[in-house]
Structure 1
Amino acid sequence: MADNPTTPRRSFHRARYQRYTGGPDPLAPPVDLREALREIGDDVMAGTSPQHALREFLRRGSKDMRGLDKLREQINRRRQELLRSRNLDGTFQEIRELLDRAVLEERKQLARDLDDDARFAEMQIGNLPASTAQAVDELSNYEWRSAQAREDFEKIKDLLGRELLDQRFAGMKQAMEGATEADRQRITDMLTDLNKLLDAHNRGEDTTEQFREFMDKHGDFFPENPRNTEELIDSLAQRSAAAQQFYNSLTPEQRAELDQLSQQAFGSPELMSQLAQMDSALRQARPGLGWDESSEFSGGQGMGLGEGAAALRDIGELDALSEQLSQQYSGAQLDDIDLDALMRQLGEEAVVDARRLAELDKALRDEGFFDRSADGEFRLSPKAMRQLGQSIFKDVAEQMSGRGGERQTRNSGRLGEPTGASREWQFGDTDPWDVTRTVSNSVLRTLSEATDPASAIRGIAESGVRIDVRDVEVADTESRTQAAVVLLVDTSFSMEMEGRWTPMKRTAIALNHLVSTRFRSDELHLIAFGRHARTIDIAELTGLQPRWEQGTNLHHALLLAQRHLRRFPNAQPVVLVVTDGEPTAHLDPSGEPFFFYPPHPQTIALTVRELDHVSRLGAQVTFFRLGDDPGLANFMDQIARRIGGRVVAPDLDGLGAAVVGDYLKSRSRRRA
């Protein structure tokens, strides 16, 4: 059949797909605050302040996102690749090192001085400009207190002078190292005489005798050993023109910085004045050497005009990016990072990482994950604690998933609280029906068994749903039996020394999350005990920093635990003890802690007495023994037999699962 000429012919367009380059990817997933908060929480639990933990996370990044340190490392590596063979980089580096060393020595001296002028000097030293040239210029008239700092700063002036001379006189940098004032005066005299010689030559005068006198007096500065004025000019003009070509390749900002540094050469602008006069005379004598063009650096690797200018622009841009990524200056923000410059230097992936870091930093602050306590300290907010607890509890639950029966917390009971899940009805169940699921099951079963689905649908519409026992589902519930739970955690310094500090905190956070979200009728109380004991909330425990504190005062902790248990006389008492050491401290009659190691008999006796009191309250006591201390193992085994308690010896990775699992078992026993 022929095509109808009036029918429009379909046209097909072939699509091509490539990486999105129109700015931030609109389809990119949002930043994962949970992972960030998890890592920040780990640092906080290890004893780092929340603000410092946030900075450290941004610096190190995550497994899927480079941090500021990694980006800065790549920036600095690229800078080194650009300047590896450029001698000027070495000079700038030497100047920066000398400046940093001088400032450090001066700060040490100022810290030892107690007068007001020293405090003012500290402020001046602490607010130096980021630019090396500006910092050197600002310190040129500074009254140094440290002799070592003054010596290092004078070396900067000496280095600048030698570098400038080396650009024009071969070997001058090494020859003038450690030069005295007399040596510098010889340089000044040589330049003065040289400029007189060049001026006479440019005026057309016969300089034979003047040249001979000049060489007799200053010939050691010219290893090339020129034979006449023309050869002297040829040698000097080539190096001088190369120096000018290098200068021409700099950006205006870089030329200004070099000019500013040059004024400090040998501590006087006179050197630059003499060199400028010499360059002018040499240019007049040899105008065809390309003074207005770029040339090779005097180092091992040269650059033409375009390459040199581009490289120097890159160096300035890389230095700025390195400072922005360091975030070490006052008022630093991630928004300061020049993303366009980062794109040019490291490519699109680096920009994506930097943008995600900025978005993550902003989101963490804007979402209210940090707040300030009454005493003004920066801390994790309740919202952050809930997120952190959820993350940690998820890990604990995954560890428990392989344990048969330990996570089964379902209970059929008339007074149960719905969990949000449902299950098939079983004989003897008294839980309420899940009506929606039951009716749905009936409809689906009727349709699946019918030979004519259309007729079945009409039948349901006319006569309603017929429910079979197979369709019934009941709402899953939890028992409302209340418990007064006390978690006693050891905060003595041995917990930190043996790497048990963070696992202990993670355990407390996981249990607190479970109780506060799943078993809200239970009353959880946290007690931290070292040389003395105190009640503590979960946020404070999370940020608690380890202290050099000897003593395991379980006696005091049990006294506080009994107060909590007596507040809820109708609740089932549950006591969970996490420790890595025998009791080595107790409260004496005055209320002061008494410490003695090895454990004093009185300490053991008082601790056992309070454990007996806890047992008489009907408490179920479980000890979680950390480490392999035989004395602790013997003590706990005897106590467990005495009061009918339990001893669990988990590894650190399984501590959270052991504590949470024991708590859930206690609920199962209460329901039974």
Structure 2
Amino acid sequence: MSRYTRYAGGDPLAPPVDLADALASIGEDVMAGWSPERAMREYLRRGAKGTGGQQRTGLDDLARRVAQRRRELLDRHSLDGTLQQVRELLDKAVLAERKQLARDPMMDEGDRAFRQLQLDDLPPATSAAVQELSSYDWQSSEAREAYDRIKDLLGRELLDQRFAGMKQALENATEEDRERVGEMLRDLNELLEKHRRGEDTRADFDDFMAKHGEFFPEQPKDIEELLDALAARSAAAQRMLNSMSPEQRAELMQLSAQAFGSPELMDQLARMDGNLRSLRPGEDWTGSQRFQGEEGLGLGDGTGVLQDLADLDNLADQLAQSREGSRLDDVDLDALARQLGAEAAVDARALAELERALRDSGYLKRAPEGDLRLSPRAMRQLGRQLLRDVATRLASRQGQRDARKAGLLGEPTGASRGWEFGDIEPWATARTVTNAVVRTVAAGGSVADGVRITLDDIEVTETEERTRAAVALLVDTSFSMAMDGRWVPMKRTALALHHLLRTRFRGDLLQVVGFGRVATVMDIEQLIGLDSQWEKGTNLHHALLLANRFFRKHPDAQPVLLIVTDGEPTSHLEANGEVWFDYPPHPLTIARTVQELDASRRLGAQTTFFRLGDDPGLARFVDSMARRADGRTVAPELDDLGAAVVDSYLGSRARRAGRAGAGGTDPFGER
């Protein structure tokens, strides 16, 4: 027989999490100087995006709702609900007794006066008045019933503090029912004390549950689960007492002796609390909360609210993910559903699945030192996305880019393949048209109505590469780059160019050089993870030295020099390897830099300066350097830097290809 339950996994038709968007966001933060671990945490805090582009709930929103729920509980409630109920029942009993005394014609006047005096002289404190009337001989049956309900209420509330649901279960309970509760408490304390001494067995627990299991609807599997549930509730009851005012606490302690008209209940509960404190000292037995509302809570409901507050505090800690080694799998989804509803648990489960997917996808790798890093696969994915952005920008540059003849790079191989960004090979016209026709017919269209060619239809002729380039990308890593918001665009540019060469122009060589006070050859992972530097200095001289060394190592390749900077050179290397720094730029630094630029020109480098910023002095310096190197200057906007650098590289390839042969079509020019 099949059984069906409510589906708890959220919307089964919701779009899956977009890992590409996650990686792009994480990569952007890593390029800004964050660790991959922190970047992933921040992404999960903001909330993931589904493949449909919709924003999903993040950790910050869940944490905000947890904090809001906590404030609502404290601002709505007070802890004097039971005391208020007792006071109301006491007033009802006294009023009914006064009415009975006033209308009973058969009563002795002396007795009447004495009883009225007793009622008039009751202490103002509720607990003292209840105690005073414990031996009073009620004349009114209504009054006696109201007073007896005080004892019953106190007993049920005290039990409800330790066993949720007891208040309702024992309503209208008989004396036999109360005796069964007393027997359960005695047996429970004996079991707890045997467990404290290490003398209990599994059979002891099974016998206890067989006899008293009705009092434990959660059905614990062993004594440890029983202890966990009882101790959590008992500790919450103690925190509720701690949260009361001294006057309220004193009132309640005095009233407790009246529970069920016998002090035995309080004795057994105090014994149980002592056992639980000893067995579960790690519970919070000393905490308190400040309630500021007007809605009075009974002892049982108040204890439940204190448990809710403990749940919310634990959830806030889990959602903060601030502990070392924290994972979203640690979030208590059942508690989250209880406090915020099923949808919140679904949102948290989706974030946990995203975290697992990111860790298991191969995008993040654990370094030998133990920290997370972007994997080569992640770098390729990021490069692909950045290159796609560059392609979009280049395609939209109407009138900003000269149409160039791409030319054949070599002899055709006889094969063709789909066009990809960066391709400058000629179209395979027959294959391109055939693809467009097949696609049109498959979509239900008619060739007679015309065929429209899309990018997906285009195929290019594969050729044997005849020439290759040695590309030196020199990127300024001085502090001004980070201070003025150019740090991430610089890294995005380097990654996009790196991916283009690694995927489309594998024969070309790329060396990335970062230059601040000194220059360093970096692999792409090193550059992407580079944090902003505080040292002053822009050592273009050292960067050109490294670039020229790279060019000389590859004499068969065409040198291409791409320089991204936002400042004039302020440091250079001395012959002994020491760094010279001076600001404003010293004439010796300028001379040494020009000397190495001349060496690049003699090696035949095609040079492009990418000037960031509007400083007039920088503009004059860069323009003069570009003229000296027979190169050019580009002053792109920050969000257009990647497109400008890639465009310059493709232009250098087109010029080289033009020397190898004519023909072909520029993939970004007019078709």
Q: Deviations over 1:606-653 (max 9, x none)?
A: 001111111111101111111111111111111122221111111111
Task: Tell me the TM-score normalised to structure 1 length.
Answer: 0.62
From 66, 70, 87, the counterpart of 1:75? 66
**Long gaps (5+) in structure 2:** 1-5, 50-54, 88-113, 115-121, 137-146, 165-229, 264-290, 440-457, 659-671
Aligned partner of 2:639 among 649, 653, 664 = 653
Q: Does 1:278 align with 2:264?
A: no
CA separation of 1:440 and 1:47: change in aligned 2, threshold 3 A: closer
Which of 393, 407, 411 is the aligned partner of 1:411? Answer: 407
The aligned residue for residue 57 of structure 2 is 66
Q: How does 1:153-302 map to 2 (within 5 A)?
A: 230=132, 250=161, 251=164, 252-253=230-231, 255-258=233-236, 261=239, 278-281=254-257, 283=259, 299-302=293-296
Shift of 1:33: 1.1
The correspondence for 2:630, drawn from 618, 641, 644, is: 644
Aligned residue number for residue 541 of structure 2: 555
Matched to 1:670, the amino acid is R
Matches within 5 A, 1:499-648: 499-648=485-634
SS at match of 1:384: helix
Displacement of 1:58: 1.4
- Determine the structure 1 residue equivalent to 2:312: 318
Match of 1:85 in 2: 76
CA–CA distance in structure 2, aligned partners of residues 443 and 362 of structure 1: 41
Q: What amino acid is aligned across from residue 417 of structure 2 in structure 1?
A: G
Q: Mark the runs of 5 or more structure 1 residues left unpaired by the alignment.
A: 1-19, 89-162, 171-205, 207-214, 288-296, 424-428, 445-471
Q: Distance in 1 between the 2:560 and 2:475 partners?
A: 14
Is 1:484 aligned with 2:478? no
- Counterpart CA distance in 1 for 2:599 and 2:76 is 78
C-alpha change, 1:415 and 1:316, in structure 2 (3 Å) is same
In structure 2, relative to structure 1, the CA distance for the partners of 1:414 and 1:591 (3 Å cut) is closer
In structure 2, relative to structure 1, the CA distance for the partners of 1:360 and 1:230 (3 Å cut) is same
Shift in alpha-carbon separation, 1:419–1:638, aligned structure 2, 3 A? farther
Letter in 2 for 1:66: T
For residue 84 of structure 1, what is the amino acid of its counterpart? D
Change (3 A) 1:434 1:49: same
Question: CA distance change for structure 1 residues 647 and 249 in 2, over 3 Å: closer, same or farther?
Answer: farther
1:320 is displaced (CA, Å) by: 3.7
Match of 1:334 among 322, 328, 331: 328
Q: After alignment, is 610-619 or 342-351 more displaced?
A: 342-351
Q: CA separation in 2, counterparts of 1:233 and 1:628?
A: 95
Q: 1:333 to 1:376 in 2, by over 3 A?
A: closer
Q: Are 1:421 and 2:418 an aligned pair?
A: yes
**What is the rounded CA distance, in whole Å, between the counterparts of 2:57 and 2:560 in structure 1?**
46
Structure 2: distance between partners of 1:320 and 1:412: 66
Whether the 8 Å contact between 2:8 and 2:346 is mirrored in structure 1 is no
Question: CA 1:282–1:28 in 2, change beyond 3 Å: closer, same or farther?
Answer: closer
Q: Is the 8 A contact 2:478 2:535 kept in 1?
A: yes
Equivalent in 376, 387, 405 of residue 381 of structure 2: 387
Q: 1:249 to 1:82 in 2, by over 3 A?
A: farther
Query: CA–CA distance in 2 between the matches of 1:329 and 1:579?
Result: 40
Q: What is the distance in 1 between the residues matched to 2:155 and 2:433? A: 91
Deviates more, 1:559-568 or 1:333-342: 333-342
Look up the match of 1:56: 42
* TM superposition shift of 1:411: 3.0
Structure 1 residues 248 and 327, CA gap change in structure 2 (3 angstroms):
farther
**Equivalent pair of 2:512/2:521 in contact (CA under 8 Å):** yes
SS at match of 1:661: helix
Tell me which residue corresponds to 1:397. Answer: 391
Kept in 1: contact 2:492–2:642 (CA 8 A)? yes
**Residue 358 of structure 2, aligned match among 364, 380, 393:** 364
In structure 1, give the amino acid aligned to 2:594: V
Taking a change above 3 Å as real, the CA distance of residues 416 and 653 of structure 1, as seen in their structure-2 partners, is farther
Instruction: State, as a whole percentage, how many aligned pairs show the same letter.
Output: 49
Letter in 2 for 1:326: A
Write the deviation string for residues 581-620 of structure 1: whole angstroms up to 9, x where unpaired.
1000001122011111000110011001111111111101
CA distance in 1: counterparts of 2:403 and 2:305, whole angstroms = 63
Cα gap change, 1:284 to 1:249, in 2 (>3 Å): closer
User: How far is 1:666 from its partner?
Assistant: 1.0
**Number of residues of Structure 1 aligned to a counterpart in Structure 2:** 492
Q: AA paired with 1:30?
A: P
Deviation, 1:495, is 0.6
Counterpart residue type for residue 75 of structure 2: R
TM-score, normalised to structure 2, is 0.63
Distance 1:298 1:265 in 2: 11
Q: Displacement, 1:352? A: 3.5
CA deviation after TM superposition for structure 1 residue 333, in Å = 2.2
**Alpha-carbon distance in structure 1 between the residues aligned to 2:131 and 2:68:** 46
Residues 274/413 of structure 1: CA separation in 2 closer, same or farther (3 Å cut) = closer
Q: Are 1:526 and 1:536, in contact at CA under 8 Å, matched by a contact in 2?
A: yes
In structure 1, what is the Cα distance between the partners aligned to 2:321 and 2:355?
13
Question: Are the counterparts in 1 of residues 472 and 562 from structure 2 also a CA contact under 8 Å?
Answer: yes
The Cα of 1:573 is off from its aligned counterpart by 0.6
Mapped to 1, the partners of 2:430 and 2:328 lie a distance apart of 54
Structure 2 partner of 1:180: none
Q: Which AA in structure 1 matches 2:355? A: D
- The reply to whether residue 668 of structure 1 matches residue 654 of structure 2 is yes
The whole-number CA distance in structure 2 between the counterparts of 1:605 and 1:659 is: 26
**Conserved in 2, the CA contact under 8 Å of 1:413 and 1:430?**
yes
Counterpart secondary structure, 2:538: coil
Instruction: Give the residue type in structure 2 aligned to 1:385.
Output: M
- Asked if residue 353 in structure 1 is aligned to residue 344 in structure 2, the reply is no
Distance 1:354 1:262, change over 3 A: closer
- Tell which deviates more after alignment, 62-71 or 389-398: 62-71
* Greater relative contact order (Cα < 8 A, sep 6+): 2
Report the 3-state secondary structure (helix = DSSP H, G, I; strand = E; otherwise coil) of the residue aligned with 1:577. strand
Q: What is the aligned-residue RMSD (CA, Å)?
A: 4.9
Distance apart, 1:335 and its partner CA:
1.9
Counterpart residue identity of residue 61, structure 2: K
1:388 counterpart letter in structure 2: L
Instruction: Report the 3-state secondary structure (helix = DSSP H, G, I; strand = E; otherwise coil) of the residue aligned with 1:62.
Output: coil
| 1:84 CA drift (Å) | 1.6
Letter in 1 for 2:559: P
Question: Contact 1:410–1:477 at 8 Å: present in 2 too?
Answer: no
* 1:369 Cα offset (Å): 1.5
Letter in 2 for 1:338: D
Separation in structure 2 between the aligned mates of residue 56 and residue 667 of structure 1, nearest angstrom = 40
Letter in 2 for 1:380: L
1:41: Cα distance to partner?
Answer: 0.5
